[in-house]
Amino acid sequence: MKHKKIVTILVLCIMAAAAVSAGIGIFSSGGPGPFTYTSIRGEEVPIYGRGLYRHMSADVAVQGIGHDYVTLFLAVPALGIALGAARRGGLRSRLVLAGILGYFLVTYLFYLVMGMYNPLFLVYALLLGCSFFALAVTLFGVDLAGLAASFKERTPVRLSGGFLIFNTLSIAFLWLGVVVPPLRDGSLYPVELQHYTTLIVQGLDLGLLLPLSFVSGWLLVKKRPLGYLLGPVYLVFLSFLMTALTAKIIAMGLSGVNIFPSVIIIPATGLVTMVCAVLMLKGVRHEQGE
C-alpha cells in the first residue's frame, strides 16, 4: 500500500474519534426528556429530548443511536483489521479498506449536515476530513491500468454491477415517491421533513450516492477498469451501510414504530449486497505489488 504512514495516521484518527463519537451517542443521557415542538411550517414534531441527540426528532434520534452501535462495535474494529491487512500489501485488502473508509465518510457527512448542532460538531468535521483524504489516498494508490487483469475471468461482474444499478433505481424511485407527490398536489413539504430545513438524506442520495452507485454498476457491467475499482469498493461500503440501516430499523421497531415491510426489505438487500461484495473480492486473481 502506497503512503502507508499517511493512511495509517488518518485511519487511527478516524478510529479514535469515531469510537468517542459513537460511544457518546449511545451512552449519553440528560436533557428535558421527550417533548413536542412546533416547526416553522406548523407541524407538531415529537422530539427525543435525551442525550446527545436531544434536539432531534424522536424517530431520527433512535436511528442515530442504532447507527452508532454498528459504528462502534463493527465498523471501528473492521477498519483496524482492514488497515493491518492493507499495510501488508494486497489489492483485496485495499479494496476492503477503501469500502470501509467510504462508510465512515458517508456516515459523518450525514452526521455533520443532518444532526442538530451538538458538542461533537468539530469531531464530525474531523471524521469527515480524515475519511475523505484516507479514502482518496487509498484509491489513488491502486494501479488502474492493470486492475481488470487482477480479477478472474469468471468473476460475476455483471451480476454485481446489475445489482448496483437495480438498487440505485429502487432507492431513487423510493425517494422520488417522497418528494414528488407534495410538489404535484401543491402542499410542497413532505411529512418526512419534520422540523429539519431540507431532506438531507434524500438530497445527498439523489445528487451524489445514487449516481455514484449507478456509474459504478454500469462500468462494472461493461468491464471497464474503473468499474473494477469502484464496484467492489461501493459494495463493501454498501454492506456496512445496509447493516447500519438494519440497526436503525430495529431501533425504530423497539421504540414502537411499525417497521413492516422495511424489516424484511432492508436486511434482504443487505444480504445480497454482502454476497456480491464477497464474490467480487474472491474474484481477485493476484495481488498488485507496491
Q: Phi, psi at residue 64, to the nearest 5°?
A: -60, -40
Q: What is the pLDDT of residue 288?
A: 54
Could you give the C-alpha distances from 32 to 36, 48, 51, 118, in angstroms and in order?
Answer: 11, 9, 9, 15
Q: What is the pLDDT of residue 242?
A: 98
Q: How far apart are CA 280 and CA 272, in angstroms?
A: 12
The model's pTM is 0.96
Q: Give the chain's residues under pLDDT 50.
A: 289-290
Q: What is the pLDDT of residue 290?
A: 44
Q: What is the pLDDT of residue 278?
A: 98
